[in-house]
């Protein structure tokens, strides 16, 4: 059976305060690539109604208002789409063992140094750098302002078995 010809696009992260989330992700080296999501008809500066056809495609109520931006970590993919819906009581992000996408993982070449830089910038971590089983990788976990888990990982490929 043939498979589709797909490649990375972006990962959507819904946020309660777009400006605070942009500032948070900038601490990790992300920058705003597109101030809005043009194909949904929404910009970055003020909430606007998502057109009916796009609301239907997203499975959100017609007339839903949002503002958003696309951020990038480098020139590659995937990008992240931060979206703030104009909603009175959004549900918080889930826990690591809940169903669905729960964690964004960012690779680093020097976890200890990046952990220290981010701590100094005010990022609160749930765990300090921790060696993985067999010291195959070191990880540290933090949350964004809305609770989305972010894993930083330094992989030690020289310790991985090829058998």
Q: 42-69 pLDDT, tens per residue?
A: 999 999 999 998 988 888 888 899 999 9
- DSSP letters, 77-115, are S-EEEEEEE--SSPPPP--TTSSS--EEEEE-S-HHHHH
Span 5-32, average pLDDT: 92
Same domain, 82 and 7: yes
Q: Is beta strand 130-131 parallel, antiparallel or unpaired with respect to 65-72?
A: unpaired
**Residue 163 in this model has a pLDDT that exceeds 70:** no
CB 54 within 8 A of CB 62: no
Please report, for the domain that includes residue 7, its CATH number.
Answer: 3.10.180.10
Same domain, 65 and 106: no
- The residue from 71, 89, 107 where one domain ends is 89
- DSSP letters, 14-73, are E-S-HHHHHHHHHTTT-EEEESEEGGGTEESSS-EEPPHHHHHHHT--TT-EEEEEEEES
Domain span at residue 115? 91-163
CB 123 within 8 A of CB 27: yes
- The residue from 64, 89, 114 where one domain ends is 89
- 66 phi-psi bin (left φ>0, alpha ψ -120 to 50, beta other): beta
Same domain, 28 and 83: yes
Span 86-144, pLDDT tens digits: 876 667 777 666 656 778 999 999 999 999 999 999 999 999 999 888 888 999 999 99
Q: How far apart are CA 70 and CA 90, in angstroms?
A: 21
Q: How many domains is the chain built from?
A: 2
- Confidence category of residue 5, pLDDT binned at 50, 70, 90: confident
Q: How far apart are CA 122 and CA 144, in angstroms?
A: 11
**Residue 155 in this model has a pLDDT that exceeds 80:** yes
- The residue from 58, 89, 120 where one domain ends is 89
Same domain, 111 and 79: no
Same domain, 150 and 132: yes
pTM (predicted TM-score): 0.86
């Amino acid at each position: 059976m043939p498979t589709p010809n797909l490649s990375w696009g972006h990962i959507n992260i819904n946020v309660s305060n777009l400006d605070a989330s942009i500032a948070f992700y900038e601490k990790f080296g992300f920058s705003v690539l597109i101030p809005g999501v043009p194909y949904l008809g929404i910009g970055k500066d003020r909430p606007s109604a998502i057109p009916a056809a796009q609301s239907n495609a997203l499975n959100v109520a017609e007339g839903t208002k949002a503002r958003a931006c696309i951020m990038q970590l480098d020139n590659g993919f995937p990008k992240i789409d931060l979206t703030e819906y104009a909603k009175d009581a959004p549900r918080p992000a889930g826990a690591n063992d809940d169903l669905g996408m729960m964690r964004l993982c960012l690779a680093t070449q020097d976890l200890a140094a990046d952990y220290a830089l981010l701590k100094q910038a005010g990022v609160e971590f749930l765990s300090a750098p921790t060696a993985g089983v067999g010291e195959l990788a070191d990880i540290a976990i933090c949350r964004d302002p809305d609770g989305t888990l972010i894993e930083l990982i330094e992989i030690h490929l020289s310790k991985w078995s090829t058998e």
